[in-house]
């Protein structure tokens, strides 16, 4: 068992290669707060106890704070209250130890859902006692118990390793195994559920409208507006009155530009203007600081306004099937980009040298005529390039 434990520790250290410490993911919060709970299955040993002990499952609950450094590596600091113990075979004698555990763990993520962790835990012993369950004359247990203070255990540092599976972004289920720094005859196995509080989304119902007039009449409750294939040649400046709008879909119309008032939609997170006749964009589009998704493919755009590179929260940027003459070096300022589509954006379109700064880019869609800068340096090792 000791050899297996040391092997896992060495494996964790080996996994901490240079790729793990690449630039941190800008889309991840600086800190993640968690609520953890579960149960301990302990192997206890006490030299003064003559009867045979059986292991029992006892509760543990605590809090933790996690610092992600990259998509693959994070550190976690935790504190939990836990009970560890054992019973005799018929449950009339019980050993109960109560601890406050301080944990420091390194965590490595694989495939975005599997996590392996290892580190140290200081188990601070708060109370240890011996519980005797009173019995009736016929040998059956009754409700009364007697508790006695005992000795033999103490606070101690421990090694800890474990693994977890992310069921959802906010829920992780895993197991941990810990052994003391000395006295390896004692061990503790934990089944753990961790709730990542940052990732819980208390979703409100998004009200969707398909008519601008209806949306304006209910402007306070309008979150999604879909005006696709309406043969629109102009978008009304009244769109600015939809202060709570989060998604705007204008696909399949005849729009040549967007009104400057589009920049007043401060809560807008998604803007889709595909399959139109756009030949220009207003500079006010750079005021959409909450925008995460921008879909502009299948239009007639020759240039992008410089203000578009102010969209620091942009994650999905689709500008393929246009007539762009070039892409600005300021593209590298959109360092939160996850997906970029620039296929058939222009004849012999050359990607800017600054593309190497897009450390979070997972998908790049190009065509066979797209030119890469020389020398070309990929932004990361996990980038997937698709030639359309």
Listed range (42-46, 155-159, 293-297, 336-340) with the worst mean pLDDT = 42-46
331 φ, ψ (degrees, to nearest 5): -55, -35
State the burial class of residue 151 (Cβ atoms within 10 Å of its Cβ: 0-12, 13-18, 19+): exposed
For 136-199, strand residue ranges (E) read 141-149, 156-168, 171-180, 187-196
pTM, entire model? 0.56
Structure tokens at 57: 């499952």
Question: SS3 for 278?
Answer: coil
Q: In angstroms, how far is CA 259 from the centroid of its own chain?
A: 36
Please provide the DSSP assignment of 30-52 as one string: S-EEEEEEEEEEEE---TT--SP
Give burial (CB, 10 Å; 0-12/13-18/19+) of 277.
middle
208-387: in CATH 3.80.10.10: yes
Mapped onto helix, strand or coil, the DSSP state of residue 295 is strand
Residue 345 — pLDDT band, cuts 50, 70, 90? confident
At 97 the three-state DSSP class reads strand
User: Which whole-number Å values give the CA distances from 213 to 65, 250, 257, in the listed order?
Assistant: 47, 15, 21
Assign a CATH topology to domain 2-199: Porin (2.40.160)
pLDDT in tens, 86-133: 787 666 778 888 899 999 999 998 887 899 999 989 989 898 887 777
In the chain, list all ranges with CATH 3.80.10.10.
Answer: 208-387
Phi-psi region of 91 (alpha: psi -120 to 50; beta: other; left: phi over 0): left
Q: What percent of the chain has pLDDT over 70?
A: 81
CATH 2.40.160.20 domain range(s) in the chain: 2-199
Per-residue pLDDT reduced to its tens digit, 144-202: 566 666 667 788 888 999 999 988 778 899 999 988 876 545 678 888 898 888 776 65
Q: Are the beta carbons of 64 and 50 closer than 8 angstroms? A: no
């Amino acid at each position: 068992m000791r050899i297996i434990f040391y092997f896992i520790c060495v494996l964790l250290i080996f996994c901490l290669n240079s790729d793990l410490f690449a630039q941190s993911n800008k889309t991840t919060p600086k800190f993640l707060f968690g609520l953890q709970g579960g149960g301990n299955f302990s192997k206890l040993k006490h030299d003064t106890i003559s009867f045979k002990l059986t292991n029992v499952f006892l509760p543990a609950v605590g809090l933790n704070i996690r610092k992600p450094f990259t998509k693959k590596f994070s550190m976690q600091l935790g504190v939990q209250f836990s009970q560890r113990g054992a019973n005799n075979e018929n449950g009339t004698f019980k050993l109960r130890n109560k601890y406050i555990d301080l944990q420091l763990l390194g965590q490595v993520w694989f495939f975005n859902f599997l996590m392996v962790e290892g580190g140290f835990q200081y188990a601070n012993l708060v109370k240890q006692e011996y519980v005797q369950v009173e019995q009736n004359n016929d040998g059956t247990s009754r409700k009364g118990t007697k508790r006695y203070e005992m000795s033999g255990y103490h606070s101690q540092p421990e090694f800890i390793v474990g693994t977890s599976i992310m069921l959802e972004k906010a829920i992780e289920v895993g197991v941990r195994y810990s052994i003391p720094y000395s006295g390896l005859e004692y061990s503790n196995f934990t089944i753990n559920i961790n709730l990542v509080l940052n990732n819980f989304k208390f979703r409100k119902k998004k009200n969707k409208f398909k008519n601008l007039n209806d949306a304006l009449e209910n402007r306070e409750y309008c979150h999604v507006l879909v005006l696709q294939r309406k043969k629109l040649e102009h978008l009304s400046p009244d769109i600015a009155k939809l202060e709570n709008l989060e998604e705007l879909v204008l696909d399949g119309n005849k729009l040549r530009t967007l009104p400057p008032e589009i920049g007043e939609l401060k809560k807008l997170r998604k803007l889709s203007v595909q399959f139109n006749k756009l030949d220009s964009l207003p500079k006010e589009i750079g005021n959409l600081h909450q925008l995460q998704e921008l879909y502009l493919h299948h239009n007639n755009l020759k240039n992008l306004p410089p203000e578009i590179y102010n969209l620091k929260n942009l994650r999905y940027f689709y500008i393929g099937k246009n007539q762009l003459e070039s892409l600005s070096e300021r593209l590298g300022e959109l360092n939160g980009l996850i997906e970029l589509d620039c296929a058939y954006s222009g004849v012999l379109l050359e990607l800017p040298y600054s593309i190497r700064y897009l450390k979070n880019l997972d998908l790049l869609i190009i065509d066979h005529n797209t030119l890469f800068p020389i020398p070309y340096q990929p932004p990361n090792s996990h980038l997937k390039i698709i030639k359309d």
